[in-house]
A and B are shown apart, each in its own frame.
Chain A
Amino acid sequence: MITALLLFWPALAALLVLLIKGQGAKKVAFVAALVEFAIAIVATTGFDAASGATQFELNLPWVENAGIGFHIGMDGISLLMVLLTTFLVPLIILSAFKHDYKNPNAFYALILFMQTGLIGVFVALDAFLFYFFWEVALIPIYFIAAIWGGVNRIPVTFKFFVYTIFGSLFMLAAFVYLYFQTGATELAAHSSDVQAFYQLALSAESQSWIFWFLFIAFAIKMPVFPFHTWQPDTYTESPTQATMLLSGIMLKMGIYGVLRWLLPVVPMGVSQWDELVLILSIIGIVYGSVIAIRQHDLKRLIAYSSIAHVGLIAAGIFTLNEQGLQGGVIQMLSHGINVTGLFFIIEIIYRRTNTREITSLGGITQNAKALSIFFMILLLGSVALPLTNGFVGEFLLLLGVYNYNAWFGAVAGLTIILSSVYMLRMFQGVMFGTKSEHTEAFTDLTFNEKAVLIPLVIMVFWIGLFPNTFLSISEPAVGNLLNIINR
């Protein structure tokens, strides 16, 4: 039941928020998101971390005759993703407090509505339900970006929308095919339940086809090189809150999709193509990092760095060993936290200076000590300094990749060099040096901004120092996943 509550509470709250006129909407939205987070915490305390089984399950008939069920539930991986979502959404709402958007009720209602979609993706245990929420999550973000975005928003968001829909259709086609394969051996009806998909025994050739259909959908969402070109533009043009939602949470949908719907469903397909996927991902790492080195727009720089980080997660996951998978899961959390924080810091700088160009900034650290500290910590998390969250993930991921193939590991490892190059270059350009005309009267963080950054920084150190809190939640689930794959 608690899963259903988690799923529908934001949608209900969204309807409520929609009714409120004026800027009061954000407060209601914030409280609603906090309540959602509290529900997630309650769910976590009731969660049996030692068991790899799906918990808090709810299986109602949806299209009963066709074997399509409203099947939701959480295992360790889902729970972590739900925690990430519910943790970040209140902060994302809070981060918008100082920004008076037009039609605030619609803006915040869309964010909450999106939360339902995101949580739905993470808890759905039926292929068509998954597909449903996958698309549900896309609609609000499209409107947020297209209504409240930058100058170029219309073509950019349109491209983003068409691009992801294009990918989703492949996924739908694959699901329909798989659906018709279920129950083929006996007289039993077809089913789109995740377990039914796991039990399919397809030929290697059809697995190979299905692999690509599903992979394209997920790869576009992540995005993996060379399906990434929607991302820098969309991140740059969207309002910061949308960018945070996209990079912090939505991108994890793609990775989660791989974990839940790709690896265990078509293991033979994976074993045929994993090397190619790893190569693509590793190209993405180097490619994204190298491009990030010369970007001068802060948002675009982080967008390219995100391609690199996600490339590493994808590479780690496709190694199909425990270090890689666990590293991928923990890195999803870390990346969500770091990238959200970094985008917020860019927003803070933009609010005060009206520019995101590195060349027109500088010397901010002289005026804003607190900002420097937060920025530094988040940056260190993202360059994977030990004892911050990024290290645990990258260490495990690189170990996984190295285990798969030492040369791949070495090339993927370039990320630790290149990330320090572009991140420090950014930090130096923005924070150090002499003040520019834009940063002359820079003011330090306000209470509201600190309120967003402090929880993020706490998480940076929590995951960095005590990763086992989270690793132990996903460990049985990852073990299960490996069992299914290696069956």
Chain B
Amino acid sequence: MIARMEIGGLLAARRWRRILAALFQILLVVGVFLFITLPLAWLVISSIASPADLLSIPPRWIPWPPDFSNYSHLLFGGEIEGTTLTTVTLRAFRFSLRNSMIVASGVTALCLLFGVLAGYAFARLQMPLGDRLLYLFLLVQMVPVIVLLIPMFLVMSRFGLLDRLEIVILLLTAFHLPFVIWILRSYFLSIPVDLEEAALVDGATRLQMLRHVILPLAVPGLFAAGVYTFMQTWNAFMIPLIFTSSETKRTVTVAIAMFIGRHYTEYGLISAAGVLASLPPALLAIFFQRYLLAGLTAGAVKG
């Protein structure tokens, strides 16, 4: 209050500064926005460019008229002679979005559930081996999956567990859990301990406290960890490839790889497929982002 009164006389100057600051902020945001979207714009342009536009020198930045045939092929199918685009390939792409959604959501849910428990334990409780156990966990995740595929395939095959999305979910969870634990532990560490202390003194159990005190405060961290897991899983390639086989179980990464042919790759189609494949997660993220922001502001006001 005192500070405000002191600069009261410079109100006009302050207003100017505020406007300038707002403009500067918008400029910075535009910078970030361009960083993200410029390469993506090229992807979108490639997906709607006609064959001639795709090959024009210098590039035609706005392909006109836009050619949506890549999208219609992907969504409505049909075989195109002289390309990899057999009916089988195109049909598989449509299933794949659903499968990836199931797998990514499942892994995210499991990783968050187990990750919250273990992450909290590592952040706050005394563990048998302490941090060394955490590094051991991490070592597991860091062994490149390529050398584990063959023994894992043997096990799954012996138990008759091939070609099931559930197995893909479990395997990916096991692979990504260590790092999710790390992420969540870090966010838990940044939450002040006194809140818990109060709850403990009040006689709450650990789990009750985790649920009612810690989790609400850790929402941004949970969100970040969730996004990380979802994205990693959405992008997983080798495990879905090796452990599923029927076309109704194929995930989107594998389906897109099918457009890379023996000799020819259809850039327009791959671009369109890339755009379509990133739409569902992007929409999810935008939806949650808005929700999260609203929730946080509400919480901050009340807090």
| A complexed with B | no
Which B residues are within 8 Å of any A CB, using their own CB?
A: none
